[in-house]
Amino acid sequence: MAIYVLQVITGKELEARKMLNLLELESIEKIIFPRREMIQRKKGKRYKKIQPLFPGYLFLETEDLTDALIHDAGRCPNVIHFLPDNRRIKAISEDDERLLRPLLRDDGLTPLINIKFNENDRVIILEGPLKGQEGLILKVDRRRRRLRVKLSLYETGHLIDFGYRDLGVSK
């Protein structure tokens, strides 16, 4: 199964996914709109909020990308084009897929990541899609409870914030 990326109008991802599902294109296995659970502070209180992981992008999992599929997807409202562009559409690379696969779950929702800090203040990811990927973390914002991670997609780096749940300090 190959994963292709479809660029859509930012903020209209759910509508575009709904329209693609209505087309009932048999060659598409899944249409994934990845989202993440974040903690936001407002007036001193913390709230959970769901935000897009890659705003303006849908991920299509398909065995074969046919001309009919490309044409039908392009006619949907809010759809811009396939990546890198419609003339030379490519599936994401195996390395990118290996990193992104845990984030592209069936429901598309990445929950808060459970972490601990060791005695040297280094992050240890206990549970979540980034488990074992501590080297990708660029920055930790303890006040806002966010991890900044650099993920690549089509050889372009994307800085993405993930919400985390601090489970204390490990000895």
Give me the domains of the chain, ranges plus CATH numbers: 2-169 (3.30.70.940)
Q: Which of 15, 156, 146, 162 is nearest to 76 (CA)?
A: 15
For the stretch 96-154, pLDDT in tens is 888 888 888 777 888 999 999 888 888 899 988 888 888 889 999 988 899 999 888 88
pTM of the model: 0.85
